[in-house]
Amino acid sequence: MGDEVAEEGGSGEHAGDGHGEPDKSARTTEEKPGPSRAEVSNYEIVEHWFNLAAGRLGLPDDVAAVLRSSYREVQVQVPVRLSDGKIHVFSGYRVQHNGARGPYKGGIRFHPEVDLDEVRALAELMTWKTAVVNIPYGGAKGGVNCDPSKLERAELQSIARSFMDKIEKVLGPQRDIPAPDVGTNAQVMAWLMDEYGKLHGHTPACVTGKPIALEGSFGREAATGRGVVQVFTEAAPELDIDPSRATFVVQGFGNVGSWAARLMQDMGARMVGVADANGAIAGGDGIDADKLAEHVREGGSVADFDGGAEEIDPEDLVALECDVFIPAALGGMIHADNADRMRCRMMVEGANSPTTPKADAILTDRGVTIVPDVLANAGGVVVSYFEWVQNLQHFRWSEDEVNEKLGEIMRRAYREVSDRAHENGTPMRPAAYELGIERVVEAASTRGYI
Ligand code: NAD
Pocket of ligand 1 (CB under 6 A): 12-15, 18, 34-35, 180-183, 224, 251-257, 275-277, 328-330, 350-352, 377, 380
Identify the pLDDT of residue 307.
86
Per-10-residue mean pLDDT of the chain, 450 residues long, equals 31 33 34 56 96 98 97 98 98 98 98 97 98 98 98 98 98 98 97 98 98 98 98 98 98 98 98 98 96 97 94 98 98 96 98 97 98 98 98 97 98 98 98 98 97
DSSP labels for 37-54?
--SS-HHHHHHHHHHHHH
The answer for residues whose C-beta is within 8 angstroms of residue 178's C-beta and 6 or more apart is 94, 106, 107, 108, 140, 142, 171, 189, 192, 207, 208
- pLDDT of 36 reads 59
Kindly give, in sequence order, each residue whose CB lies less than 8 Å from that of residue 385, ignoring residues fewer than 6 positions away: 105, 135, 136, 137, 208
CA distance 42 to 117: 8
Contact in structure between 393 and 372 (CB atoms under 8 Å): no
Q: Could you tell me the distance, in angstroms and rounded to a whole number, from the CA of residue 108 to the centre of ligand 1?
A: 12
Q: How far is the CA of 83 from the centre of ligand 1 (A)?
A: 27
* Nearest atom of ligand 1 to the alpha carbon of 373: 44
Which protein residue's CA is at the shortest distance from atom 16 of ligand 1? 277
Atom of ligand 1 lying closest to residue 280 CA: 20
Q: Which atom of ligand 1 is nearest to the CA of 331?
A: 32
Which of 132, 181, 305, 335 to mutate to test ligand 1, by most ligand atoms within 8 A of the CB atom?
Answer: 181
Strand order in the sheet with 270-276: 310-312, 279-282, 270-276, 247-251, 321-327, 343-348, 369-371
CA-to-CA distance for 270 and 323, rounded, in angstroms? Answer: 10
Contacts of 410 (CB under 8 A, 6+ apart): 133, 227, 230, 231, 234, 378, 379, 382
Instruction: For a ligand 1 pocket test, name from 113, 276, 313, 349 the mutation site with the most ligand atoms within 8 angstroms of its C-beta.
Output: 276
Confidence at residue 39, expressed as pLDDT on a 0 to 100 scale: 62
3-state secondary structure of 62: helix
Instruction: Look at strands 176-180 and 270-276 and give their pairing.
Output: unpaired
Cα(330) to centroid of ligand 1, in Å?
Answer: 6
Q: What is the dihedral of CA 276, 185, 112, 120, to 10 degrees?
A: 110
Nearest CA to ligand 1 atom 35: 351
276 within 8 A of 254, measured Cβ to Cβ? yes
Question: From ligand 1's centre to the CA of 253, what distance in Å?
Answer: 7
- pTM of the predicted model, to two decimals? 0.92
Residues with Cβ within 8 Å of residue 135, at least 6 apart in sequence: 102, 381, 382, 385, 409
In the prediction, which pLDDT does 41 show? Answer: 92
CA–CA distance, 406 with 402 (Å, rounded to integer): 6
Active site residue ranges: 141
Distance between Cα 249 and ligand 1 center (Å): 15
Would you state the pLDDT for residue 284?
86
**Other Cβ atoms within 10 Å of 285 Cβ, number:** 8
The widest CA-to-CA distance across the chain, in whole angstroms, is: 61
